[in-house]
Structure 1
Amino acid sequence: MQEEETAYQKLFLDEPFQFESGAEIPSVSIAYETYGKLNAEGTNAILICHALTGDAHASSWNNPEGREGWWDGVIGKGKAFDPEKYFIVCSNFIGSCYGTSGPPSINPTTNKKYNLSFPQMSVRDMVNLEYKLITHLGIKKLVTVSGGSLGGMQSLEWALMYPEIVQSIIPIACGARHSAWAIGLNEIQRKAIMEDPKWNGGEYTSQPSRGLTSARMLAMMTYRSNENFGNRFARNVREEVNGTPFYEVESYLHYQGQKLVSRFDANTYIYITRAMDSHDVSRGRGTLQNALSQIKAKTLSIGIDTDLLYPVNEQKEIAELVPNAEYFEIKSVYGHDAFLIEFDQLNEAIKKFLIKGF
């Protein structure tokens, strides 16, 4: 099958999908986008994996006048992931809310939303569903699998679960397993959502907006850096309310929280953060060293010097324990979010890595 470049698509699989836990759903939908053209051999493909609240729209390549893609900075002509050279795929992972089956989806057995009856997925479940899509598209080899944050976690699991397909991986701003620090931050966010009376045990009719807003506000604090906030907001006051200053940084956090409420689902947020917390490449594979030593794919582990959420020692650990790996560090004031901002550095590092061939 020689796949042509397309915009948003959906693949419906009228067959049970089994989760790592053993639970099943009777059928599954996968939302995805592709950019470029698959060669006759099916060997020029790249898989891009998105992060927590991302979606399959990584690039506006197919419609430059349309909505901006979340990784337009590295997908395009002359960029690290060039659709004129590669067939690039990005899908919405299992358990999300942008077209792929997840908690807000309709359970065909009950004709009602799954909500909390949807099985808890893991990063490995995300990879297994992505594999079904890759197979459907006729892809025989993946030149690389890449993504930042949760996307990077998926790339690591790809290298371990499907080594015969994956030639290289580029995990960015993630660790080989979720730290106690990251788990704790996620639990605070989940608690904020579940303490909102509107959450109603997951059976809400309208979004628990206060809880989801608070969760996002906390998350935003971990996505940037002290220096970035100081440079951008300082102690600037937006307005005074009853004689009390309302600071610019407060306004920014409120805006970001409310913005997420308008585009995301609260139960989905809970499910995905739990999937992230379960991330541990050594689970069922012995020690961390033993697990990472099994990765045969060439690896470019990328860290960000100001990342508060996944400090650079986690990416350096990957580079040290994976046999054929190298490390690159992004210098940025933007913290964890630098993988969505520092495109010049990313393009340079990734192009140098990919040009070596596999």
Structure 2
Amino acid sequence: MLPKRIELFKETSPSTITTSGKIKVRVLESFETESGVNVGPIEVAYETWGTLNDSASNAVLVLHALTGDSHVIGEQDHNHPTPGWWNGLIGPGLAIDTRKYFVVCPNVLGGCQGTTGPTSISPDGQIYGSRFPQITVGDQVRVERALSDLLGIDRYVAVIGGSMGGMRALEWGVRFPESSGSIFLLAVGPSATAEQIALSSLQIQIIQSDPNFHHGNYHKFGTSPDNGLRLARALAHLSYRSPDEMERRFGANKTPLGDYEVFSYLLHHGDKLVSRFDANSYIRLSQAMSDFNVGKGRGGIEHALRGIDAPLTVIGISSDRLFPVSQQHQIAESVPNCAGLHIIESDIGHDGFLTEIQSIGKIIQEALNRYSQGKSHYFGYGESVAI
């Protein structure tokens, strides 16, 4: 079995991009990663909604999480293996109003949904596979900046992201402070914690232990480490939900076949990922998350965060055990221009940043309205608000 790949794209020039649809463009002929490895050419697949105005001053950048993709909103179809992951948040009259804003969501560098990654064809005509280099969140953001340059967007009204997307949004604020009119961070911290690294490392080990992994060269053998990826995702999904929610939904109940319902539920989510994702991409993206530390090479976390110029809105989920609210407090307390810290009461866990659409939309919409009126401070620096 060859790696899962999405092949149906529109090939077009940036000047034609004013409506929704998955687009793929070449943004760089060659790219040197922060580890010093050259890779390229670099192509980026992305989707847009709304219309970019003549001054290119109404763009909003939305950044997806680990196994997400550019399909933020919309239905599942032949070109989109899953429905939009933020349906109800973006569109005409919604929190991010596409009558006003031009929304851009790129697939991440190292992924497997069209942007250059391990499933891409290298210059030698072969799939990169295990040869695709280890990358960083900084590398991913530099590629997103290259796409923005190609689109003619110098500055975004807002850069918005949750989880791994939040890491990239934070990196945007520090690396390209002049390019972000405002920043929204959801369910993320300023660096990877020991527990996050441990969970990620275990998932990688599970995938690599699959006999079909073949040191990451499974495409040469016509196989895929599906069982390893399935179990890795099951473990990850456990960390995405809260103990209270699991107990409420499943308890110790068993299926008619005698399996625990909670275990069957986790394996189901593992199977869903296997049908649409590549194991090498999962590894490279997970490694990038584990390596993330916004203060690395910048004098430490607090010093780096103090350099963020744009008003920054931080959103946490009360029951998030993967990125606990203490991490959102750390960011809010370190950014002088923090425009508000909001903790959403939810028993969903980390995935609340995907499911609590109404609360998240209210925060983003009100903040964007205030920013457009020149009022950068939403609820005041460091204030915590339960929604």
TM-score normalised by structure 2 residue count: 0.88
After TM superposition, the runs of 4+ consecutive aligned structure 1 residues lying more than 4 A away are none
Q: Does 1:221 align with 2:234?
A: no
Q: What does residue 24 of structure 1 align with?
A: 38
Which residue number in structure 2 is paired with residue 236 of structure 1? Answer: 253
Q: Which runs of 5+ in 2 are unaligned?
A: 1-14, 375-387
SS state at 1:328 partner: strand
Asked if the contact 2:129–2:217 (Cα under 8 Å) also holds between the matched residues in 1, the reply is yes
Following superposition, the deviation at residue 68 of structure 1 comes to 2.7
Describe how 1:4-19 pairs up with structure 2 within 5 A: 4-13=18-27, 15-19=29-33
Asked if structure 2 preserves the Cα contact closer than 8 Å seen for 1:207 and 1:261, the reply is: no
- How many corresponding residue pairs? 351
In the alignment, the residues of structure 1 paired with residue 113 and residue 212 of structure 2 have an alpha-carbon distance, to the nearest angstrom, of: 22
Query: For 1:85-136, what per-residue CA distance to the aligned partner results, in whole angstroms no more than 9, with x for missing partners?
Result: 100000001100000000111112x211111111111101111111111111
Alignment counterpart, residue 95 of structure 1, candidates 90, 103, 110: 110
The superposition leaves residues 19-75 of structure 1 with CA deviations (integer Å, 9 ceiling, x where unpaired) of 1112111301100000001111111100000000011111129x9xx8631111211
Q: 2:367 matched to which residue of 1?
A: 353
Q: CA deviation at 1:3?
A: 4.5
- Per the TM alignment, residue 201 of structure 1 is displaced from its structure 2 partner at its CA by 0.3
- Please give the secondary structure, in 1, of the residue aligned with 2:298: coil
Q: Map of 1:68-83 to 2, 5 A cutoff?
A: 68-83=83-98
1:304 equivalent to 2:321? Answer no
Displacement of 1:2 in angstroms is: 7.9
Query: What is the 5 A alignment of 1:195-274?
Result: 195-204=209-218, 205-240=222-257, 245-274=258-287
SS in structure 2 at match of 1:60: coil
**Following TM superposition, by how much is the alpha carbon of 1:230 offset from its aligned partner in structure 2, in angstroms?**
1.2
Structure 1: gaps of 5 or more residues? none
Indicate conservation of the 8 Å contact 2:234/2:267, yes or no: yes
**Kept in 1: contact 2:24–2:46 (CA 8 A):** yes
Q: CA RMSD in A?
A: 1.6
Deviation of the 1:140 alpha carbon: 2.6
User: How far apart, CA to CA, are the structure 2 residues paired with 1:34 and 1:26?
Assistant: 24
Of 227-236 and 291-300, the range deviating more from structure 2: 227-236
Distance in 1 separating the partners of 2:26 and 2:65: 22
Residue 153 in structure 1 maps to residue 167 in structure 2: yes
Distance in 1, Cα, partners of 2:216 & 2:352: 33
> Which deviates more from structure 2 when the two are superposed, residues 6-15 or residues 311-320?
6-15
Alpha-carbon distance between aligned partners in 1 of 2:190 and 2:88, rounded to the nearest angstrom: 26
How far off is 1:174 after superposition? Answer: 0.5
- Cα deviation for residue 314 of structure 1 reads 0.2
Whole-Å separation in 2 of the counterparts to 1:138 and 1:156: 22
> Which amino acid is the alignment partner of residue 208 of structure 1?
P
Structure 1 residue 157, shift from structure 2 partner: 0.4
TM-score between the two structures when normalised by the length of structure 1: 0.95
